[in-house]
Structure 1
Amino acid sequence: MADENNTPVFQIQRMYLKDLSLEQPNAPQILLEQTQPKVDINLALGAEPVADGMFEVTVTATVTTTVGDKTLFLIEAKQAGIFEIRNVPAEQTEGILSIVCPQMIYPYLRAIVSDVCTRAGFPPVILTEVNFQAMFEARQAQLEAQSGGSTAVN
């Protein structure tokens, strides 16, 4: 029995759309424009503990499409998941929360963004594949560079 209590656990408890927003602030006039729009896409990740061994992980996509200096449309979608992670070393938990969980959530987010664009009357915006491992490693390298590679002693 004691052996079971130390067995690593990783499982999805729930996957859900946490927030969704579509804005077309300059419609209908901007819809008559013939200029090719500019599309900017930003991704953000978040992870928070919600209970003992339970974490909410979010991936947020913000898609801003402009024609000149006017917004054609803005979509913000936040897809979330609740994950149970127990008996996993802290350094591995961080990687799971930053790489594995977002990889599971991201396909849902991609589908939502594409669907919302289509339902708003625009061609779908297809979010590109994301290498969450590379993002995690780059962020770790940046944090290490900012700390100068030294450790503080209290």
Structure 2
Amino acid sequence: MAEEQNNQAADAAVQPQFALQRIYVKDISFESPKSPEMFRKEWKPKVNLDLNTRNSKLDDGVFEVVLALTVTVENGEDTAFVAEVQQAGIFAVSNMEDKAVHHTLGSFCPNILFPYAREAIDNLVTRGSFPPVMLAPVNFDALYAQAVAQKQAEQEKAAE
């Protein structure tokens, strides 16, 4: 019986492990350069979303992942507002191969952070007295796969 428990404990020790330790706002900004004139114009917004992720190692098996969103809305020729959020999280990732760690940090963690960033953007915009901006879900798996393919293509091109 004791041997079986030791084997189970040993198996658990080598299992891939993932834990969310903290989610927080790293940076937040809202600008409305044409207010209050913008409120007097007909509202025909053009929304542009820039999205970026980055990660850094804090300790062995502990990483900070930052999801940066910038929403720029133009109304006609003028910029109505710019809302920026850097939503961050601290994640513990262990007992994974490097490829799995990179995928976790580049896709899985941003998926966790995105709803928080989306809510922060919406909150900023409505506090600026503009109609809510409900950002559509993002397929971080597809974006990660695209980034990996682009990096491989660049490496192959450089090797030629």
Superposed pair shares fold, TM > 0.5: yes
Aligned-residue offset at 1:151: 6.9
Moved more, 85-94 or 2-11: 2-11
Alignment of 1:1-154 (within 5 A): 3=10, 5-148=13-156
Q: Give the aligned residue type for 1:106.
A: F
Aligned-residue offset at 1:31: 2.2
TM-score between both structures, scaled by the size of structure 1: 0.89
Q: CA separation of 1:121/1:143 partners in 2, compared to 1, >3 Å: closer, same or farther?
A: same
CA root-mean-square deviation: 2.1
Moved more, 29-38 or 109-118: 29-38
Aligned-residue offset at 1:149: 7.3
Runs of 4+ displaced beyond 3 Å = 4-7, 149-152
Structure 2 runs not aligned, ≥5 long: 1-5
Residue 44 of structure 2 contacts residue 76 of structure 2 at CA under 8 Å; is this kept in 1? no
Mapped to 1, the partners of 2:15 and 2:71 lie a distance apart of: 41
SS in 2 for 1:145: helix
Aligned-residue offset at 1:35: 4.7
Aligned-residue offset at 1:70: 2.1
CA deviations over 1:82-128 (Å, ceiling 9, x no partner): 00011211111000001111111111111111121111111111111
Mapped to 1, the partners of 2:73 and 2:118 lie a distance apart of: 16
Q: Give the aligned residue type for 1:104.
A: I
Q: Give the aligned residue type for 1:19.
A: D
Structure with higher helix content: 2
Aligned-residue offset at 1:10: 0.7
SS in 1 for 2:133: coil
Residue 55 of structure 2 contacts residue 105 of structure 2 at CA under 8 Å; is this kept in 1? yes
Mapped to 1, the partners of 2:90 and 2:52 lie a distance apart of: 17
Larger radius of gyration: 2
TM-score between both structures, scaled by the size of structure 2: 0.86
* Percentage identity across paired residues of the two chains: 36
